A and B are shown apart, each in its own frame.
Chain A
Amino acid sequence: MSLIRTEGLEKIYRLDHVEVPALRGVDLTIEGEEFLAIAGPSGSGKTTLLNLIGGLDRPTAGQVFLEEQEITRLNKSRLAELRLRKIGFVFQAYNLLPVLTALENVEYVMLLQGIAAGERRQRALAILGEVGLAEYANRFPNLMSGGQQQRVAVARAIVAQPKLVLADEPTANLDSTASSELLDLMRQLNRDHGVTFVFSTHDPLVMERAERLVRLRDGKVFGDE
């Protein structure tokens, strides 16, 4: 059973009566424990594809299956529940809730899952240790570097033990050292936790580190290596 399967996925944005196609029929299958990069130039549909896989947006046509369950028809509340239980997200920047400390940010998802306070704290501290930020647990995001913030975001994405982590250009705002460290970390977590990582990028460094590289151009898959 594949983890993710998309069939004929299309997305058209309507801007001032002009239709802008972002995806034009994407068929893609992603297996469990993959470390996959979706690459392509700006406007190729990378973010749109991630949003559709993550249940953040609805396709104009086509379907998305997560563990063979079709998610495109789920209502808002069911989609929220699905994201909470099965998918972790890392965005480009400003991922963290600014009024919560690193520890509280990591705890937040577990709070939504209804995990007891003691266990939340224990697991959050453990994962912060794993991403090398144990001593930053009580820091607020504005007192951390971009790389550190992204690590906390990765910790938050992984702590809820999802099947899939979707990262939309996670290194876009980082320098090459921080980017490299973040990729190492994601790869490590991919191996240690068996979590599938799918990330979008147009950074050649990131593409190099991916186990599988899916190339998008003009809303279509034109390469799968």
Chain B
Amino acid sequence: MDIKLAWRNVWRNRRRSVIIISAIAIGLAGVVVYEALTVGMTTQMVENIVGTSLGDIEIHHRGFQESKTLELAIDNPEQVLRLVRGTEHVSAAAPRVRAQGLVSSARASAGVQILGVDPTAEAAVSTIAHSLVRGRFLAAADEYAIYLGEALAKKLKVGLGRKVVLMAKGLAPGMASNAFRVVGTFQTASPNFDKMTVYIPLAAAQSLLSLDGKISEIAVRIDRQRSLEQVAATLRTKLAPNEYEVLTWKELVPNLVQMTQLWEEWVYLFAFVIYIAMVFGVTNTMLMVISERTRELGIMLALGTRPLRIFRMILIESALMGLVSVALGSAASFGVVWWLSLQGLDLGWFVRGLSFLGLSRIIYPVLTPSILLISGLSALVATVLAAIWPAWRAVRLEPVEAIRDA
């Protein structure tokens, strides 16, 4: 009967209850949608950077990450690749040559990052093949083909089938150069990346840079992010630590980790402000409730209701309002997230300045059960906590005064 009594009490002042329940539900939905968008945005940021040009894990010759020198190359790539591909949770691995160079067309030239890749293996570790704008990605049979950013192609004023010359300082003395035919252009979330990156076949890169079958790095993708550290640790034990360095994307781009943490902290701050507002709203409502029902509470006390039972009844009333709010707020947030996931949220101008972070213009929210569960529970706890002070005031009522005052 306690719950029945509390439930009926909630609906005594229907309009007031609807207002406070709506306020909590809207606040909760706001928190959930904001969090889902943030998770979606950070996941996209990570995927844009990690999936385009890095890898969940990269393996280099020890010291390469710091010096970026071609002298520190992996000279037994097949052996290392076999070892990596045989590791649990590794879904793909690809060899790469990474160097700096100059690309020139008849009209212009630009400093670029040269990525020599095995087209088939690269397509399995990165999304670059899917970022195609014109033409095609590199193919296994290509010899001197080049796949470059659409922005770079425009800068060089070259189209498909046109030749560009790539110059770089390889292991051999002097500058090396070779002509490459444009087979395709790409566009990623990062305009900077597009302006200064070219992909050429691995063998062509090794030849241009006189690497003699050596590579700069092995990019590794794993089948689940939560195994990142575990896979990295396994690879570190498999590969001689004095010869190789195994770095996760978090170590490769620490500022990306900081940025995602910052966004998450913003979500917590936003949620905290919303929950505080909820607490004030519920406290205010419950104080009004206590004030209006003073005589009734006095009669309950006079009949022999223990103060603790009154306290519990007020908390149950608040919890029931919280439960209804959480159900409605969760349903609303689910609906909004579903709608946004169909068409995405266009951040437009806001993202332009943040594109170097790999932020996409269109954000797709990611709603996980844990977001719903934790946000819903927090809202419920907030509504119950908010009723403690009003309930305490109810408990302190003296029956005779409560009956007389009303």
A binds B: yes
Q: Is A94's CB under 8 angstroms from B303's CB? A: no
Q: Is B309's CB under 8 angstroms from A112's CB? A: yes
Q: Is A99's CB under 8 angstroms from B5's CB? A: yes
Flag the segment in B109-117, B161-169, B253-261, B293-301 that touches A. Answer: B293-301
Q: Is A111's CB under 8 angstroms from B1's CB? A: yes
- The answer to whether residues A89 and B8 also contact, given A56-B399, A112-B309 and a CB cut-off of 8 A, is no
Q: What 12 new A-B contacts, CB under 8 Å, besides A56-B399, A57-B400, A85-B304?
A: A51-B400, A56-B400, A57-B398, A81-B306, A84-B303, A94-B299, A98-B12, A98-B296, A100-B5, A104-B4, A108-B303, A112-B304
What's the Cα separation between A104 and B403 when bound, in Å? 21
A-B contact pairs, 24 of them (CB 8 A): A57-B400, A80-B305, A80-B306, A80-B307, A81-B304, A82-B304, A83-B303, A85-B304, A89-B299, A89-B302, A91-B302, A91-B403, A94-B296, A97-B5, A97-B299, A99-B5, A99-B12, A107-B1, A108-B1, A109-B303, A112-B303, A112-B306, A112-B309, A156-B303
How many residues of chain B are within 8 Å of chain A by beta carbon?
Answer: 22
Q: Is A112's CB under 8 angstroms from B305's CB? A: yes
Is B9 positioned at the interface, with any CB of A under 8 Å from its CB? Answer: yes
Q: Which residues of B contact A95 (CB under 8 A)?
A: 299
Is A77 positioned at the interface, with any CB of B under 8 Å from its CB? Answer: yes
What's the Cα separation between A81 and B303 when bound, in Å? 9
What's the Cα separation between A111 and B305 when bound, in Å? 10
Is A191 positioned at the interface, with any CB of B under 8 Å from its CB? Answer: no
Is A219 positioned at the interface, with any CB of B under 8 Å from its CB? Answer: no
Residues 70 to 90 of chain B near chain A (Cβ within 8 Å) = none
Q: Is B307's CB under 8 angstroms from A97's CB? A: no
What's the Cα separation between A76 and B304 when bound, in Å? 10
What's the Cα separation between A100 and B1 when bound, in Å? 10
Q: How does the 8 Å CB contact mask read for A66-92 relative to B, with 1 for contact and 0 for none?
A: 000000000011001111110001010
- The answer to whether residues A97 and B300 also contact, given A111-B1, A112-B309 and a CB cut-off of 8 A, is yes
How many residues of chain A are within 8 Å of chain B by beta carbon?
Answer: 27
Which listed residue (B5, B9, B295, B302) contacts A94, Cβ 8 A?
B295
> Lowest 6 CB-CB distances: which A-B pairs, in order?
A84-B304, A99-B8, A83-B304, A57-B400, A56-B400, A51-B400
Q: Which residue of A lies closest to B399 (CB)?
A: A56
Q: Which residue of B lies closest to A100 (CB)?
A: B5
Q: Which residues of A contact B9 (CB under 8 A)?
A: 99
Q: Which residues of A contact B296 (CB under 8 A)?
A: 94, 97-98
Q: Is A77's CB under 8 angstroms from B304's CB? A: no
